[in-house]
Amino acid sequence: MTTVEKAPPVSRRDVGLLRRPRATTGFASWITTVDHKKIGILYVCTALVFFVLGGVEALLIRLQLFGPNGTVLTAGQYNQMFTMHGTTMVFLVGMPIAIGLGNYFVPLQIGARDVAFPRINMFGYWVVLLGGIFMYSSFFLGGAPDGGWFGYTPLTSAPLDSGFLPGRGPDFWTMGLILLGIGSTTSAINFIVTCINMRCPGMSLLRMPVFTWMMLVIAFLTLFAIPPVTVALTMVFFDRNFGTLFFDPAAGGDPLLYQHLFWIFGHPEVYILILPGMGIVSETLPVFSRKPLFGYAIVVFSGIAIGFLGWGVWAHHMFVTGLGPVAISAFGLATMLIAIPTGVKIFNWLGTVWGGSVRLTTSMLFSLGFIAMFTIGGLSGVMHSVVPADTQQTDTYFVVAHFHYVLFGGLILALFAGFYYWYPKVFGRMLDERMGKLNFWTMFIGFNLTFAPMHLLGLWGQPRRTYRYDEGLGWEALNQLVTVGSFIIAFSVLVFIVNAVVSKSRGKVAGDDPWDGRTLEWSISSPPPEYNFAEIPEVHSRDDFWHRKYTEDDEGRLVPLPSGGAEAHAAAGHDGHGIHLPSPSYFPLVTALGLPILGYAAVFQNVWLALLGAVVLLYGIYAWAIEPAD
């Protein structure tokens, strides 16, 4: 058992212009922190702001489509809205919330005091925040991106002076995504090294909680998915601005190359978004059913299998591009294969709930909602693997319905399950359950009102990405229903935000272990101390914390251990004095600031701005390198 060591004398050498930050509270502490928990909170709060922005864009789209020949948005504005809605929800909401929750809970679940690289962790956050601001600043600098979140060439790659997609939107989009990719890659490396090298004694890989496992899987997916899209975006940027011919059919270029590179990223990206959600419900379902996860190993291996298979299915986004019968058959079959590990997981979750003493908390309701909605989304996904059917459904609202059932009904419901589950650990107070239930039911009903009718609209032929439709096509009533549903979702999100803000000061005090949890994060105080664990824990089994609290009698019934978990409070008297933690630093922020400056320089082709960005970046990197890590 490792014990706390004396802090070595810390060198407080000040570097360059900036003194070593010392604040532990207030604004300065938040911008210089390297504490994985504070960074996690920053990620989630930032992502929620972008969630609201992306939601407003969705509402504008829905207002436009409320009736035939809508006049709320012009065609150009409509293009900007659906482009930014998709881009925001994928890159600035889905990924950052998962990374934020992972940041907060992966070290706690594996018994570590921080991630492997605390300063790089903070750098990743700044890149995501600044990258998001960079992309949104395009609204004020000549128009937002309007080529779709997938940015298909040759539309997006046509030279700037060609008249297609005039304005700087697509350049903001390519540069912004490259920036966000840098941020995601650093977090991915950080998660992998943390999960491999920082586990506490006894925490073998097959004892890691499933949420941590899924974060590890998506870190690998991120690591290998980002480079191809970075290359594709670079080519688009060069085509638009420097006259290269990569995607220019007239010069022999192949626009399909872009689609391949984009979807080699894009499909693993789908799993990058959904696997953390699967990880979250694999944590909540056992806790609220008071049973261990049914088939832990197979859940983990299914997650890994999804990660691997995810690399072999990208072309199912391209069935109508004329790839030829052999290719589409192969990709169709591979896509069907994905249903196997996914289906296995669904049965494992059902097996976990089956026969358990189920507590229908808000978190549990969201988790159960996840299973149901994700199953529907998964099934319509299998429909898409059937190529003739997909050919009919491509570019209709059926596809929109499908991926919203997976990403909203799947990911977002799971994230809310995670919010209600972990909020007490983060803030020490419970989210209000009555508002929570209102939150769940409005979201569940609003979600189904919004997206279920889209299946029908799609089958009736309503195309995606068109800003208005004619009267008399029979689409009016359902489109009105969809718009009403989307506002119910908006109301639900508002309820959550009120709940989160009010509960932070007035919520019921949570205590260390409000849900009778199973994993290590519940063994420490709420909110956790800065150093997480006074003593680095040593685990002896899966769900180790549970086994410290309960044993089983001869008939397999749970019997609480009288000591209430002897080890759990062993360190209760410890004030953590003398535990050495990495010191805060300005340089992740300074270094990250260089990147959007370089981004603006690229978009506006301004050499002086490029020099400024390079100087800021280099100053940040050198000062960072020279500054002692702790």
Partner 1 sequence: MAIIEQTGTDVTAAPPSPPEQGHGHGGHGGPGPSAALTNPKLAMWLFLASDCLFFGAFISAYLLYRGREQDGPTPRELFDIPFTSATSFILLMSSLGMVLALAAIQRGDHRRFRLWIMATALFGATFVAGQIFEFTEFYRKGLSLDTNLFGSSFFVLTGFHGAHVCMGILWLLSLWGMSMQGRLGPEKAESVEIAGLYWHFVDVVWIVIFTVIYLMPQPGT
Between 243 and 511, CB nearer to partner 1: 243
Closest contact distance (angstroms) between CB of 235 and partner 1 is: 7
Between 454 and 539, CB nearer to partner 1: 539
DSSP helix/strand/coil, 560: strand
Between 36 and 542, CB nearer to partner 1: 36
How many other CB atoms are found less than 10 A from the CB of residue 50? 24
Closest contact distance (angstroms) between CB of 110 and partner 1 is: 8
Q: What is the DSSP string of 223-286?
A: HHHHHHHHHHHHHHHHHHHH---TT-GGGT--HHHHHHHHHHHHHHHHHHHHHHHHHHHHHHHH
Between 265 and 522, CB nearer to partner 1: 265
Between 196 and 383, CB nearer to partner 1: 196
Between 2 and 551, CB nearer to partner 1: 2
Closest contact distance (angstroms) between CB of 161 and partner 1 is: 13
Between 251 and 326, CB nearer to partner 1: 251
Between 361 and 523, CB nearer to partner 1: 523
Asked whether the bond before 514 is cis by omega within 30 degrees of 0, the reply is: no
Closest contact distance (angstroms) between CB of 117 and partner 1 is: 5
Closest contact distance (angstroms) between CB of 13 and partner 1 is: 11
Residue 579's alpha-carbon distances to 3, 107, 151, in angstroms, are 10, 16, 49
Half-sphere exposure of 420 (CA within 13 A, CB side): 30
Specify the DSSP element, H or E, that contains 350. Answer: helix 325-353
Closest contact distance (angstroms) between CB of 259 and partner 1 is: 13
**Residues forming the site for partner 1 (CB under 8 A):** 2, 4-5, 7-8, 36, 107, 110, 112-120, 185, 188-190, 192-193, 196-205, 223-224, 226-228, 230-232, 234-235, 238, 242-246, 251-254, 257, 261, 536, 579-582, 622, 625-626, 628-630
Closest contact distance (angstroms) between CB of 467 and partner 1 is: 34
> What is the residue whose two structure tokens read 């007239």?
250
Q: Measured between alpha carbons, how far is 123 from 506 in angstroms, rounded to an integer?
A: 33
Closest contact distance (angstroms) between CB of 397 and partner 1 is: 32
DSSP helix/strand/coil, 550: strand
Between 188 and 488, CB nearer to partner 1: 188
Burial class of 297 by CB neighbour count within 10 A (0 to 12, 13 to 18, 19+): exposed
Cβ-based neighbours of 52, under 8 Å, separated by 6 or more: 493, 497
User: Using H for helix, E for strand and C for coil, what is the string for 69-131?
Assistant: CCCCCCHHHHHHHHHHHHHHHHHHHHHHHHHHHHHHHHHHHCCCCCCCCHHHHHHHHHHHHHH
Closest contact distance (angstroms) between CB of 455 and partner 1 is: 36
Percentages of the chain per state (helix, strand, coil), in multiples of 5: 65, 0, 30
How many other CB atoms are found less than 10 A from the CB of residue 618? 12
Closest contact distance (angstroms) between CB of 18 and partner 1 is: 19
Between 463 and 578, CB nearer to partner 1: 578
Q: Which residue type does 578 have?
A: G
Residue 15's alpha-carbon distances to 35, 119, 128, 237, in angstroms, are 21, 16, 26, 37
